[in-house]
């Protein structure tokens, strides 16, 4: 009698991924040097501060295959600016992606090739379709870890330079009440 295999397990309540050998990548503040708006606030924090990690199921990376990974983005701020992922557009820019909110609260910042930005709330159960040709970044606006599941074509790749010097046109800062508010990246007084 054939015994059914136990597949990898994603705990949707906690975001924990287990039951498989995972490929993990961790990103620190030093890795994102200069990405946050306030260099003085950045200098106060340890460069080793871990901002996020991504745990991925190993895929074969071939045409037609899909990748899946969970991003765990810490709660915190560099000055007034909430912790965020580096953000990217896919190297194969036409390739789309889905994000699913697992735990915590945040925002998904989307920016199309014309520089037009759109924000979606991320929360447990939220579903986000990221079309091709749209850059994307997660921002943790809550006080707890934000985790989100992503599924994307293995051939998509990541282009971290395509956004150019200007990067995303919108930043998410905490107001005096701690609530998120948006500023355009060229706005002063951050
Ligand atoms: C994959 C994807 C996510 C991100 C992850 C980290 O296409 O969008 O798995 O890679 O949230 O963000 P980046 O790659 O911008 O550092
Ligand atoms: Zn992506």
Reported in sequence order, the residue ranges of the chain that DSSP labels E, i.e. its strands, are 9-10, 17-18, 23-28, 50-56, 66-73, 77-78, 81-82, 97-103, 106-112, 117-122, 127-130, 134-140, 146-153, 170-174, 180-184
3-class SS shares of the chain: helix, strand, coil, % to 5: 5, 45, 50
Question: Residue 163's pLDDT band (boundaries 50, 70, 90)?
Answer: confident
Among 9-18, 61-70, 122-131, 180-189, the range scoring the smallest mean pLDDT is: 180-189
Res 113: pLDDT: 94
d(CA 80, CA 38): 8
Check if 120 has its Cβ closer than 6 Å to any atom of ligand 1: no
Closest CA to 108 of 148, 81, 74, 152: 148
Distance 164 CA to ligand 1 centre (A): 17
- CA angle (123, 127, 132) in 5-degree steps: 125
Q: 18-22, 30-34, 105-109: which range is least confident on average?
A: 18-22
Average pLDDT, the chain: 94
The verdict on the CB of residue 35 being under 6 Å from ligand 1 is no
Q: Per the structure block, which two tokens stand in for 47?
A: 């460069």
Q: Are 102 and 16 in contact (CB under 8 A)?
A: no
Minimum CA distance residue for ligand 1 atom 6: 85
What average pLDDT score do residues 41-67 get?
Answer: 94
Beta carbons of 29 and 49 less than 8 angstroms apart? yes
Residue of minimum CA distance from atom 5 in ligand 1: 71
Cβ(150) to ligand 1 under 6 A?
yes
Q: What is the pTM of this model?
A: 0.95
Which phi and psi (to 5°) does residue 139 adopt? -130, 130
pLDDT of residue 187: 65
Instruction: Report whether pLDDT(86) > 50.
Output: yes
Residue 188, pLDDT above cutoff 60: no
69 C-beta closer than 6 A to ligand 1: yes
Higher per-residue confidence, 9 vs 60:
9
185 pLDDT band (50/70/90 cuts)? confident
- For the chain, the straight-line distance linking the first and the last C-alpha, in angstroms and rounded, comes to 65
What token pair was written down for 17? 């991924």
At residue 58, the pLDDT reads 81
């Amino acid at each position: 009698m054939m015994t059914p295999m136990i597949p990898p397990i994603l705990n949707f309540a906690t975001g924990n991924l287990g039951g498989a050998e995972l490929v993990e990548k961790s990103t620190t503040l030093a890795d994102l040097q200069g990405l946050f708006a306030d260099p003085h606030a950045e200098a106060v924090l340890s460069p080793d501060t871990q901002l996020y990690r991504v745990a991925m199921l190993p895929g074969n990376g071939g045409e037609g295959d899909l990748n899946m990974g969970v991003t765990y983005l810490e709660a915190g701020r560099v000055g007034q600016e909430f912790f965020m992922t580096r953000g990217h557009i896919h190297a194969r820019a036409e390739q789309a992606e889905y994000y699913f909110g697992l735990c915590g609260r945040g925002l998904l910042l989307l920016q199309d090739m014309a520089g037009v930005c759109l924000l979606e709330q991320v929360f447990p159960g939220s579903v986000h379709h990221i079309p091709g040709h749209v850059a994307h970044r997660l921002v943790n606006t809550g006080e707890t870890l934000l985790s989100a599941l992503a599924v994307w074509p293995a051939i998509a790749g990541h282009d971290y330079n395509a956004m150019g010097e200007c990067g995303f046109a919108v930043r998410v800062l905490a107001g005096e009440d701690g609530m998120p508010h948006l500023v355009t990246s060229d706005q002063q007084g951050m």
